[in-house]
């Protein structure tokens, strides 16, 4: 099977394991810079894969990414094997497209910022004071005052990350749903979150934001002193991940729901 990618970039995190793998693979072929490549081979963990994908979003040039796990969990990655020929693995890999969340934020001073998140956007209290957040879904206010540590909105790809740790639901990758999950909620006491169609717009408005400041975190990027954020899926900006046969992201999401240890 012929490798469909003529120009390949090799990028690695700065951890010792990833750098060792980088050195081992460097001589396999002629690699090119990321900005000139048709595909990115990413060495590291999920955090570095997110960093690489965000770098593509930032410059507006998105290419397929094939990750090899040199981190801890490696949910977005493939198994690393220093004996494998990368071109052969790419020739057999299949792709999965995922759409990120787009966050439009308004800060307390009126400044507007736009960020994308592949996993989730979290609103988190900045001080010991609990956050108070108004939750609007579609055109209706659904919760007038959510009191707690914060709230997050997760994509299916990110539903097994922070969202799962906050007792949110795991979403199948093709579900076209979003998870809206409270973080340590105090009031309303019985509300445990919601699963929403990803075509719906979500607006989170911070109440009493001067006394109870809130930060917004889109994957690894943070904005402080938030007044409100609006969230919706960026269907016009899809990312492409490559996986080995039998190592699909769908299977990992299903398998995560049967972990018992």
Q: Catalytic site residue 46?
A: yes
Average pLDDT over residues 178-190: 95
Q: Which one is catalytic: 14, 30, 46, 81?
A: 46
DSSP code, position 64: -
The structural domains of the chain, with segments of one domain joined by +, span 8-99+238-256, 101-233
Say whether 3 counts as a known binding-site residue. no
The CB density around residue 221, as the number of other CB atoms within 10 Å, is 14
> pLDDT for 90-134, tens place per residue?
999 999 999 999 999 999 999 999 999 999 999 999 999 999 999
pLDDT at 1: 66
> pLDDT for 134-179, tens place per residue?
999 999 999 999 999 999 999 999 998 999 999 999 998 889 999 9
| The length of the chain, given as a count of residues | 261
Residue 253 has pLDDT above 90, yes or no: no
Among 2-11, 51-60, 192-201, 244-253, whose mean pLDDT is lowest?
244-253
pLDDT at 84: 85
Say whether 120 counts as a known binding-site residue. yes
CA-based angle 257:202:64, to the nearest 5?
A: 60
In CATH, what number does 101-233 get? 2.60.200.30
Beta strands 120-125 and 94-98 are: unpaired
pLDDT at 152: 98
Average pLDDT over residues 225-249: 91
Q: Where are the beta strands (DSSP E) in the chain?
A: 8-12, 39-44, 65-69, 94-98, 101-107, 112-117, 120-125, 131-137, 140-154, 177-187, 194-197, 202-206, 214-218, 221-223, 226-233, 239-243
Are 41 and 86 contacting, i.e. CB atoms less than 8 angstroms apart? yes
Say whether 119 counts as a known binding-site residue. yes
CATH architecture, domain defined by 8-99+238-256 = 3-Layer(aba) Sandwich (3.40)
Say whether 244 counts as a known binding-site residue. no
Question: Which residues have CB under 8 Å from 113's CB, separation 6+?
Answer: 104, 105, 107, 223
Say whether 248 counts as a known binding-site residue. no
Average pLDDT over all residues of the chain: 93
Residue 250 has pLDDT above 80, yes or no: no
């Amino acid at each position: 099977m012929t490798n469909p990618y003529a120009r390949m970039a090799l990028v690695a995190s700065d951890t010792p394991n990833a750098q060792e793998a980088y050195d081992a693979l460097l001589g396999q072929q002629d690699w090119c810079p990321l900005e000139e490549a048709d595909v990115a081979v990413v060495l590291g963990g999920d955090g570095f894969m997110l960093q690489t994908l965000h770098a593509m979003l930032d410059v507006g040039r998105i290419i397929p990414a094939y990750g090899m796990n040199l981190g801890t969990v490696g949910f977005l990655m493939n198994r690393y094997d220093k004996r494998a020929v990368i071109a052969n693995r790419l020739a057999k890999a299949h792709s999965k497209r995922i759409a990120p969340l787009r966050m439009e934020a308004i800060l307390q001073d009126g400044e507007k910022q736009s960020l994308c998140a592949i996993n989730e956007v979290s609103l988190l209290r900045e001080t010991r004071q609990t956050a108070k957040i108004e939750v609007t879904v579609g055109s209706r206010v659904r919760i007038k005052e959510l009191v707690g540590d914060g709230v997050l909105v997760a994509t299916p790809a990110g539903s097994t990350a922070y969202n799962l740790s906050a007792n949110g639901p795991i979403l199948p990758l093709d579900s076209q749903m979003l998870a809206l999950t409270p973080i340590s909620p105090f009031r309303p006491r019985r509300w445990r979150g919601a699963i929403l169609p990803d075509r719906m717009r979500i607006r989170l408005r911070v109440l009493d934001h001067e006394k109870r400041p809130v930060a917004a975190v889109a994957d690894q990027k943070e904005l402080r002193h938030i007044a409100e954020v609006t969230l919706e899926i960026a269907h016009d900006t899809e990312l492409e991940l490559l996986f080995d046969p039998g190592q699909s992201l769908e299977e990992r999401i299903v398998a995560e729901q049967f972990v018992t240890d």
